């Protein structure tokens, strides 16, 4: 589905990502792991043309046999959201403070060609319900939601148009362990329902062990090791991978178990502020 070949990202001063080659298959959960500053986020931003000003990329990024490096900006904008969606660590940045959740979701659909107002409203409601959120939240402003609610609303927004690839960039870093686990369970549930692929950028090896199908490890802008989850975790080959795994806190401890599936909405009020 997605194939990067010798992808290099440069600023005016230095090489930030060097000749990275990796792929993400349909329906696959691919984890991209590494320390802060290793180039993970830049790599993800380059996929659909979101690199910062002054930073450029070379090499090849192919999406279903379509070369994205030469795709005009207008076509890339159409691709973002509809086929490739992002969930960022700064999920609050997905929302404008003076617009309701409903207005955000409505505009998102209009931009991608949904003209029927009633269908847009129904899809927005279904998106919130799929994240175990009350449809009443559609009429609220972002600052009226708790951190956990707003993060799930951001995921609902990203999944609104059933993209084929979801790029989750440190999507649970700002949440406590229980809320983060809940978010990832919801994301896995949507993956199973829709068959979308997930490029999961993280430094948390516990999440990698639980969810990933394959793993790529980045160090200083390079992929130093990649392979299926069990091979990389149980038999790491690169010294850097072994170092990261050895430093992971309580890797063997299981994730928190939710007592009865997802907690009701009222139980989450005030969490993860």
Q: Give yes or no: residues 139 and 65 share one domain.
A: no
Long-range pairs for 222-229 at CB < 8 Å and ≥24 separation?
222/17, 222/18, 222/19, 222/20, 222/39, 223/20, 223/21, 223/22, 226/22, 229/31
Candidate ranges 12-26, 109-123, 239-253; pick with highest mean pLDDT: 12-26
- Name the H helices within the chain: 40-47, 73-82, 101-111, 117-130, 147-158, 177-194, 205-211, 229-234, 239-247, 265-268
pTM comes to 0.85
Provide the 3-class DSSP secondary structure of residue 174.
coil
Number of domains in the chain: 2
Classify residue 94: in a domain, yes or no.
yes
Cα 7 from Cα 153, distance rounded (Å): 32
Q: Give yes or no: residues 57 and 75 share one domain.
A: yes
Question: What does DSSP say about strands 165-169 and 197-202: parallel, antiparallel, or unpaired?
Answer: parallel
Q: Give yes or no: residues 70 and 129 share one domain.
A: no
Cα 74 from Cα 62, distance rounded (Å): 17
Q: What CATH number does the domain containing 9 carry?
A: 3.40.50.300
222: containing domain: 1-83+164-173+197-252
Q: Give yes or no: residues 2 and 74 share one domain.
A: yes
Provide the 3-class DSSP secondary structure of residue 57.
strand
Classify residue 187: in a domain, yes or no.
no
Classify residue 236: in a domain, yes or no.
yes
Question: What does DSSP say about strands 222-228 and 15-24: parallel, antiparallel, or unpaired?
Answer: unpaired
Q: Tell me: the pLDDT tens digits for 132-148?
A: 899 999 999 999 998 88
Classify residue 18: in a domain, yes or no.
yes
pLDDT at 251: 59
Q: Give yes or no: residues 149 and 169 share one domain.
A: no
Mean pLDDT value across the chain:
87
Q: Give yes or no: residues 69 and 102 share one domain.
A: no
pLDDT at 269: 42
270 contacts 145 by C-beta, under 8 angstroms = no
Cα 103 from Cα 111, distance rounded (Å): 12
8 pLDDT higher than 70: yes
pLDDT at 19: 96
Q: Give yes or no: residues 70 and 5 share one domain.
A: yes
Bridge partners, residue 85, by sequence: 166
Classify residue 188: in a domain, yes or no.
no
Q: Give yes or no: residues 14 and 149 share one domain.
A: no
Q: Give yes or no: residues 109 and 44 share one domain.
A: no
Provide the 3-class DSSP secondary structure of residue 131.
coil
Q: Give yes or no: residues 78 and 169 share one domain.
A: yes
257 pLDDT higher than 70: no
244 pLDDT higher than 50: yes
Cα 200 from Cα 248, distance rounded (Å): 17
Classify residue 132: in a domain, yes or no.
yes
Q: Tell me: the pLDDT tens digits for 160-214?
A: 988 999 999 988 776 677 777 888 888 898 899 889 999 999 988 989 999 999 9
Average pLDDT over residues 17-36: 95
């Amino acid at each position: 589905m997605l194939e990067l070949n010798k992808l290099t990202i440069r600023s005016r001063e230095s090489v930030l990502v060097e000749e990275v080659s990796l792929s993400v298959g349909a329906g696959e959960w691919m984890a991209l792991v590494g320390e802060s500053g290793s180039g993970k986020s830049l790599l993800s931003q380059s996929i659909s043309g979101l690199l910062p000003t002054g930073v450029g990329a070379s090499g090849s990024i192919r999406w279903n046999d379509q070369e994205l490096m030469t795709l005009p900006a207008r076509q890339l904008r159409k691709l973002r959201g509809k086929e490739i969606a992002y969930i960022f660590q700064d999920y609050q940045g997905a929302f404008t403070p003076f617009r309701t959740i409903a207005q955000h979701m409505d505009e998102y659909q209009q931009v991608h060609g949904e003209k029927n107002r009633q269908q847009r409203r129904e899809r927005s409601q279904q998106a919130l319900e799929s994240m175990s959120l009350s449809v009443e939240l559609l009429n609220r402003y972002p600052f009226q939601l708790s951190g956990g609610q707003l993060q799930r609303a951001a995921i609902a927004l990203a999944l609104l148009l059933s993209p084929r690839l979801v790029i989750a960039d440190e999507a649970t870093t700002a949440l406590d362990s229980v809320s983060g686990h809940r978010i990832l369970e919801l994301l896995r549930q949507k993956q199973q329902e829709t068959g979308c692929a997930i490029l999961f950028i993280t430094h948390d090896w516990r999440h990698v062990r639980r969810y990933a199908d394959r793993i790529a490890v980045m160090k200083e802008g390079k992929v130093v090791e990649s392979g299926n989850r069990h091979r990389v975790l149980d038999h790491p080959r690169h010294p850097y991978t072994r170092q990261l795994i050895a430093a992971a806190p309580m890797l063997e401890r299981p994730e928190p178990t939710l007592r009865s599936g997802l907690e009701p909405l009222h139980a989450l009020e005030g969490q993860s502020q």
